[in-house]
Amino acid sequence: MTPRDDTIFKDSVTRDQPGLRTSLKTWLLRHAQVFFYSLGQLWRAPMSLLMIAAVIGIALALPTGLHVLLKNAQQLSGGLDGAAKISVFLTTNASEAQAHHLQSQIQQMPEVSTIQFISREQALIEFKQQSGFGEALTTLQDNPLPHVLVISPQRTVSEPASLDQFAQRLRALPQVDLVQLDRQWVKRLFAIMAIIARGIDVLGGMLALGVILVVGNTIRLAIQNRREEIVVIKLIGGTDAFIRRPFLYTGFWYGLFGGLIALLLIGGAMSLLAGPVQQLAGLYQTPFQLHTLDLITVGQLMGISIGLGLAGSWLAVGRHLRAIEPR
């Protein structure tokens, strides 16, 4: 390219830049006009907008609320007093000094939250009181019970696999005869929660499909009501993208208001449950508090709601717009 050609090229680009800026400004202005025009159209029929948005809000509030309750249940299960206790039985010839030394050694492990030492004498007294054989046990010459260490693991090792690994480490310690871990209820609890989580996902998927169908049917009726207007627009050269634009923004507004209603429903439900949950936690002397929606969940809910509104609108417009052609 010669210097003269290069100068001509730069001049042409410079002349085109104002045109590009004007075109972009016009495009944004058109979208802004349709954006508020579609809201104005919906605002003229507030009851219809409220009913459709309420359907979307209820459909989204149900799985989202169950998801929040499941997360609270998981946090509560990890913080219950006495959850996943591990009993370490020492050998019968282990002395009390050796038991305390082992207690100090285990206490330094990162998996341990608290550890309690039960001497063989204390264990025998409790056994006499709870077994009902107190008089018979008094005839024993020697105490057959060993020293016991009762360990409460950290929440980070509340899962069954982590508890098994920790129990294996305890069995390898000196003076340890038996490590007893009642993990069946832990496995059952996690299995039940996994089933509930999967059920919430399935329910959410079915309700999401219902939202798409509701929005799609509403947009279909709007297209049929404006059939003559669409035919006229096509006759004067209007493109499908131009005709599709207001219907897509209508789906956007349906999704936005539906998401807001879902947030209000979930917030109201959590407020009603907060008092009884707090009272129940006080009876068990645990500082548990019911957690509501966080910012990430709120953003996800609003994004899903708007996305479902746009998806239902896009499917309805794409299917029915092609069927409307000037004759």
pTM here is 0.65
15 falls within a domain: no
Alpha helices in 80-183 (DSSP H): 96-107, 120-131, 134-137, 160-171
Outline where DSSP puts E strands in the chain: 86-90, 112-118, 148-153, 176-181
Tell me which of 154, 182, 210 is where a domain ends.
Answer: 182
In this prediction, residue 189 carries a pLDDT of 75
- Domain shared by 129 and 203, yes or no: no
- Domain shared by 301 and 206, yes or no: yes
| 109 phi and psi angles, rounded to 5 deg | -70, 140
List, as one string, the DSSP characters of 17-42: HHHHHHHHHHHHHHHHHHHHHHHHHH
Segments forming the whole domain that contains residue 127: 85-182
257 falls within a domain: yes
Q: Count of H helices and E strands in the chain? A: 10, 4
- Domain shared by 196 and 308, yes or no: yes
Tell me which of 143, 167, 182 is where a domain ends.
Answer: 182
The DSSP call for residue 132 is S
- Domain shared by 74 and 89, yes or no: no
The pair of structure tokens assigned to 28 is 């944004």
In this prediction, residue 13 carries a pLDDT of 42
- Domain shared by 216 and 148, yes or no: no
pLDDT tens-place values along the chain, 327 residues long: 444 444 443 444 444 556 667 777 777 888 788 888 888 888 888 898 999 999 999 999 999 999 988 888 777 665 444 456 788 888 888 888 888 888 888 888 888 888 888 887 887 777 666 655 555 555 556 667 788 888 888 766 666 677 778 888 888 888 888 888 766 666 677 788 889 989 999 999 999 999 999 999 998 888 888 888 888 888 888 777 788 888 999 999 999 999 999 999 999 998 888 888 778 777 666 667 777 888 998 999 999 999 999 999 999 888 877 777 666
Cα 109 from chain centre: 32
CATH number at residue 171: 3.30.70.3040
Amino acid type, 221: L
Residues 6+ apart with CB under 8 A from 196: 66, 70
- Domain shared by 53 and 159, yes or no: no
256 falls within a domain: yes
- Domain shared by 274 and 311, yes or no: yes
- Domain shared by 134 and 162, yes or no: yes
- Domain shared by 42 and 157, yes or no: no
Q: How far apart are CA 201 and CA 103, in angstroms?
A: 45
Q: How far apart are CA 310 and CA 219, in angstroms?
A: 11
In this prediction, residue 254 carries a pLDDT of 94
Q: How far apart are CA 94 and CA 174, in angstroms?
A: 10
Are the C-beta atoms of 222 and 247 separated by less than 8 Å?
A: yes
9 falls within a domain: no
- Domain shared by 245 and 261, yes or no: yes
- Domain shared by 148 and 53, yes or no: no
8 falls within a domain: no
307 falls within a domain: yes
- Domain shared by 74 and 198, yes or no: yes
Q: Total domain count for the chain?
A: 2
Tell me which of 149, 182, 215 is where a domain ends.
Answer: 182
